[in-house]
Amino acid sequence: MNKPKNKKVKTASPNKRLRGLLIVVILILFVIVFRIGWLQFVEGATLKESMYNQLVTSRVISPKRGTIYDSTGKVLAISAQVDTVSINPQSFIQKDENGDVDEYKTKAYQENIAKSFSDIFDLDYEETLAKVSSDSTFQTIATKVEKDKIDRLTEWMEKENIYSGINIDDDTKRYYPYNDLASSLIGFCGYDNQGSEGLEKYWNTELTGTAGKVVSYQDAIQELIPDENQKYVAPENGSDLTLTIDVTIQEIAEKYLEQGCIENDAGRGGNVIIMDPTNGDILAMATYPDYNLNDPYTPTHISSKEWNAMDSETQANTLYSLYRNRAITDTYEPGSVFKIITSAVALEEDLATTDTANAYTCEGYYTVAGQRIYCADRAVHGNLSLRQALEKSCNSAFMQIGQKIGAQTLYKYYDAFGFFDKTNFASIGEASSTFWNLEDVGPLELATMSFGQRFTITPLQMITAVSAVANGGYLMQPRIVKEITDTSTGAVETIDPVTVRQVISKETSEEMLDMLESVVTDGTGKYAQVKGYSIAGKTGTSEPSPGAEEEGNVASFAAISPVESPQLVVLVTIYNPQGENQGGSNVAAPIAGQILSEVLPYKQVPSDNSVATESEKITVPDVTNKTIAEAKKILENAGFTVSTNGDSNAIVSEQVPKKGTSLSKDSIIKLYTENDEARVSVSVPDLKNKTLSQAKQLLKEKNLNINVRGSSGLILNQDPINGTSVEEGSIITVTLQEQ
């Protein structure tokens, strides 16, 4: 048997193994070099940016919003420093000794933080806990936080040894020192400090400014790396605005507007505009009802019970109606105030004269295209001049005037007076007027628009046109912002008045002022009279359009004063007044008179002593710093009655009314001493529809004084209104409704 031969096994030589290993190494090195090159040259820029973003942190610094001032320098809107508190919820996770999450400690820690947050910031605990224990990397806890609460937070953090996870960042909060003053005009800011309504929204770009930032570096665990190259980009604060309105005049307008709406049960409220006709400056723009700018989401004109009973849609509509500046956002039929325009056109075109007798005839109605159109209350005015037609507000006469002028000429002047265009008022929401197309104006349309019905304009358009009639014929663009101040440089940009065009001649303007003064002295505007001042004006009462009867009448009055050199134009518009007398004569004219009775003296407009004299009244002397006995003797010798609880030897520290007040004989002067702990207040009685003697007796019983406007008749209105709490000795002004 043959023995098998052993096979020879080939083994790799060392050289071959080394060559194979070298090839593998070279391949690996090639891959590494290729990868490095790829990262360096292909993805380098992207990776560099990614690394930079991981290392660099940028914090935004909010700019301070510009301040809004009135024309006298009073602050209407200002931003103050507050803070925003946010958290990094992942920072609150607690771990055990091995680095594992300790769920029990984490829960307790989160609950403690949530409880403290809810206590300090008045938050809902469950909602706050949900944020603290969330899986997100960022949650906002509270915004617009004021200093006292931030101090409480930092004290608590020090006490609890919490140094990370809670962020306190600078922010600003908008404040309105006068709360509801000019609310529909000024508007407010949202939670993001951006304007939401009114001037705040329209001028948002100028007021906001530009945000700044701090750029710094952080490590892998998000800790800041100290670096002297940290970049700080300062914010550019917003510019300041100076308005044309005057706080004092605005307050006067709002006071009498509110009283007028309440007294006349005007369900849809009203508005007042006061303009300087010489330059178009808006001195006041009031809307009622209004709202609190510091709490714009809670209406103040209704009870909380009524508010809570509304569904969400009704609540939203209610708030929207409050936010609207109805002087510019809502249109209305101006009614007989528009007869000012028709008269001015007729005079300018030499189609009428002021005092030509028997120029127009009124039988109580005028027939147009076979249809009778009546005067108010179907009054028969007989034969009239243009002046008399204005005084009596005769629709028949103005339909005849409109026919004589013609639609084409009227439309030419409507355009010139600015009724076909917006006024370019520097706020949001200005509405457009509605007129028939010229080719669609027939006899009926011509007739009704001649006395101000069946077309709509804004109150701002109406007062701008009336101002043109008052100032010599020049249409001025309404101005509300007169200066913009760069808070960084102090540079002031002045917004100059803009004259749009001349509409009528100076002669026509003077003739119109003369006739409109007659409306106040001898016509329907007599309740707008102010002792010592010349007033021109025109009443208006417009009926709702067919199909919109629920809107009710609109009572209005346009006043110009003083007649010889107009400085003020006032337009009062009251929507849907209730009661027997719903017209502009009884509703709006007295409000205009009340406003002018305070604004004219405030503006230091000289009074005309030839119009009315105060010689029958007595000036109250100054008796402060005298003994009660001395003061009583002085006052009683002057013809006054004295009321006081002080001892005869006590020193008078205050008197009501104050020195310099003009009062009739036997008026009451209330004296106080330093020992008087409280002032004596009484409730003003209801004097409306009372006789003057009845009113005097009611006021005397409450130690109140009376100031009378007018010469006879029942009391039309009063200031302050009934139910107002006033000090003894205060003066109650009443207006008599002449028969």
Q: Per residue in 412-459, pLDDT tens?
A: 999 999 999 999 999 999 999 999 999 999 999 999 999 999 999 999
The reported pLDDT for the residue numbered 34 is 74
The answer to whether the beta carbons of residues 209 and 64 sit under 8 Å apart is yes
Pairing of strands 139-145, 212-218: unpaired
User: What distance lies between CA 90 and its chain's CA centroid?
Assistant: 45
Domain assignment of residue 560, yes or no: no
Query: By C-alpha distance, which of 229, 149, 183 is closest to 76?
Result: 183
The rounded percent of the chain whose pLDDT value lies above 70 is 90
Q: For 507-537, write each residue's pLDDT tens digit.
A: 999 999 999 999 999 999 999 999 889 999 9
The answer to whether the beta carbons of residues 392 and 384 sit under 8 Å apart is yes
Q: For 3-48, write each residue's pLDDT tens digit.
A: 555 555 555 566 777 777 777 778 787 777 777 776 676 666 665 5
The answer to whether the beta carbons of residues 263 and 717 sit under 8 Å apart is yes
Calculate mean pLDDT across residues 139-146. Answer: 85
Q: What is the CATH number of the domain that holds 74?
A: 3.90.1310.10
The reported pLDDT for the residue numbered 611 is 30
User: What is the Cα–Cα distance from 21 to 542, expressed in whole angstroms?
Assistant: 105
Question: How far apart, in Å, are the Cα atoms of 701 and each of 437, 684, 697, 704, 728?
Answer: 62, 11, 6, 8, 10
Calculate mean pLDDT across residues 268-297. Answer: 97
> Do you know the residue count of the chain?
739
The answer to whether the beta carbons of residues 543 and 454 sit under 8 Å apart is no
Question: How far apart, in Å, are the Cα atoms of 121 and each of 110, 115, 141, 150?
Answer: 16, 10, 9, 9
**Mean per-residue pLDDT of the chain:** 88
**Residue 610: count of CB within 10 angstroms of its CB:** 8
Domain boundaries, position 219:
59-243
User: What is the Cα–Cα distance from 126 to 44, expressed in whole angstroms?
Assistant: 48
Domain assignment of residue 581, yes or no: no
Residue 613 predicted with pLDDT over 60: no
Domain assignment of residue 195, yes or no: yes
The answer to whether the beta carbons of residues 89 and 241 sit under 8 Å apart is no
Domain assignment of residue 42, yes or no: no
Calculate mean pLDDT across residues 157-180. Answer: 85
Number of structural domains found in the chain? 2
Phi-psi region of 410 (alpha: psi -120 to 50; beta: other; left: phi over 0): alpha
Domain assignment of residue 482, yes or no: no
Q: Which of 203, 225, 243 is the last residue of a domain?
A: 243
> Could you tell me which residues come within 8 angstroms of residue 673 by beta carbon, excluding any fewer than 6 positions away?
628, 644, 646, 647, 650, 651, 652, 653
The answer to whether the beta carbons of residues 85 and 166 sit under 8 Å apart is yes
- Amino acid at position 12, single letter: A
Pairing of strands 240-243, 481-485: antiparallel
Residue carrying structure tokens 């209610």: 318
The reported pLDDT for the residue numbered 110 is 87
- At 476, which helix (H) or strand (E)? strand 474-476
Residue carrying structure tokens 């106080």: 672
Q: Which of 194, 222, 243 is the last residue of a domain?
A: 243
> Could you tell me which residues come within 8 angstroms of residue 513 by beta carbon, excluding any fewer than 6 positions away?
469, 470, 536, 560, 563, 566
User: What distance lies between CA 48 and its chain's CA centroid?
Assistant: 52
DSSP per residue, 501-518: EE-S-HHHHHHHHHHHHH
User: Reduced to 3 states, what is the DSSP secondary structure of residue 142?
Assistant: strand
The reported pLDDT for the residue numbered 75 is 97
User: What is the Cα–Cα distance from 85 to 152, expressed in whole angstroms?
Assistant: 12
Domain assignment of residue 558, yes or no: no
Residue carrying structure tokens 């509509």: 317
The reported pLDDT for the residue numbered 458 is 98
User: Rounded to the nearest 5°, which phi and psi values hold at 315?
Assistant: -60, -45
> Could you tell me which residues come within 8 angstroms of residue 331 by beta carbon, excluding any fewer than 6 positions away?
431, 432, 433, 434, 456, 457, 458
User: What is the Cα–Cα distance from 260 to 336, expressed in whole angstroms?
Assistant: 20
Q: What is the CATH number of the domain that holds 655?
A: 3.30.10.20
Q: For 550-564, write each residue's pLDDT tens digit.
A: 889 999 999 999 998
The answer to whether the beta carbons of residues 716 and 590 sit under 8 Å apart is yes
Identity of the highest mean pLDDT range in 29-43, 77-91, 225-239: 77-91
Domain assignment of residue 72, yes or no: yes
Residue 483's pLDDT band, with cuts at 50, 70 and 90, is: very high
DSSP per residue, 572-584: EEEES--SS--ST
Enter the tokens of residue 365: 């109605």
Q: Which of 243, 276, 292 is the last residue of a domain?
A: 243
Strand partners, 225: 217
Q: For 681-699, write each residue's pLDDT tens digit.
A: 899 999 988 878 778 889 9
Residue 503 predicted with pLDDT over 70: yes
Torsion 603-560-664-256 (CA) sign? negative
